[in-house]
Structure 1
Amino acid sequence: MPIKISDSLPARAVLEQEHIFVMTEYRALHQDIRPLKICILNLMPTKIVTETQLLRCLANTPLQIEVDLLQTKSHVSTHTPEDHLLSFYQTFDDVKDRFYDGMIITGAPVEHLAFEEVEYWEELCRIMEWTKTNVQSVFHICWAAQAALYYHYGVKKYPLAKKLSGIFTHQMRTPKSRLFRGFDDTFLAPHSRHTEVRAEDIEKIEALKIMSVSDEAGVHIVCDQDGRQFFVTGHSEYDAETIRLEYERDLQKGLNPDIPKHYFPDDDPTKAPKNMWRSHAHLLYTNWLNYFVYQTTPYDIEASHAPTFSKTEHAE
Structure 2
Amino acid sequence: MPVKVPDSLPASAILRGENIFVMSETRAEAQNIRPLKLLILNLMPNKIETETQLLRLLGNSPLQVDVELLRIHNRPSKHTPCDHMNAFYRDFEQVRGNNYDGLIITGAPLGDLEFEEVAYWDEIRAIIDWSQQHATSVLFLCWAAHAAFYHLYGIKRYLREEKISGVFQHRRVHEHVPLLRGFDDEFWVPHSRYAQVSLDQLKAHGDLKVLAESDVAGAYLVVDQNNRNLFVTGHPEYTRTTLQDEYRRDLAAGLTPQVPNHYYPEDDPTRPPRASWHAHGALLFSNWLNYYVYQQTPFDLNDMAGMTPWE
Q: CA deviation at 1:204?
A: 2.7
**Counterpart-to-counterpart distance in 2, 1:183 and 1:309:** 26
In the other structure, the counterpart of 2:272 is: 272
3-state SS of 2:84 partner: helix
**Counterpart-to-counterpart distance in 1, 2:16 and 2:82:** 24
Deviations 1:64-111 (A, max 9, x none): 000000011265421100000000001111100000000100000011
- TM-score scaled to structure 2, two decimals? 0.98
Closer, same or farther: CA 305–214 of 1 in aligned 2, 3 Å: closer
In the other structure, the counterpart of 2:100 is: 100
In the other structure, the counterpart of 2:10 is: 10
Does residue 1:188 correspond to 2:188, yes or no? yes
3-state SS of 1:203 partner: helix
Q: CA deviation at 1:175?
A: 1.6
**Counterpart-to-counterpart distance in 2, 1:33 and 1:269:** 48
Q: CA deviation at 1:219?
A: 1.2
Q: Is the 8 A contact 1:74 1:120 kept in 2?
A: no
Does residue 1:308 correspond to 2:302, yes or no? no
Deviations 1:222-250 (A, max 9, x none): 11011100111100000000000000111
In the other structure, the counterpart of 2:197 is: 197
In the other structure, the counterpart of 2:37 is: 37
Deviations 1:184-242 (A, max 9, x none): 11011100000000112212320101111011111111110111001111000000000
Q: Is the 8 A contact 1:298 1:307 kept in 2?
A: no
In the other structure, the counterpart of 1:176 is: 176
Q: Is the 8 A contact 2:228 2:309 kept in 1?
A: no
In the other structure, the counterpart of 2:244 is: 244
Matches within 5 A, 1:77-92: 77-92=77-92
Which residue identity is paired with 1:256? T
Give the share of equivalent positions with the same residue, in percent. 50
Unaligned runs of 5+ in 2: none
Q: Is the 8 A contact 2:168 2:189 kept in 1?
A: yes
Unaligned runs of 5+ in 1: none
Which residue identity is paired with 1:309? T
3-state SS of 1:311 partner: coil
Which residue identity is paired with 2:108? A
- TM-score scaled to structure 1, two decimals? 0.96
Runs of 4+ in 1 over 2 A off after TM superposition: 74-77, 309-312
Q: Is the 8 A contact 1:75 1:120 kept in 2?
A: no
Report how many residues are paired: 311
**Counterpart-to-counterpart distance in 2, 1:305 and 1:76:** 34
Q: CA deviation at 1:128?
A: 0.3
**Counterpart-to-counterpart distance in 1, 2:203 and 2:279:** 29
Closer, same or farther: CA 150–310 of 1 in aligned 2, 3 Å: closer
Question: CA RMSD of the aligned region, Å?
Answer: 1.1
Q: CA deviation at 1:52?
A: 0.2
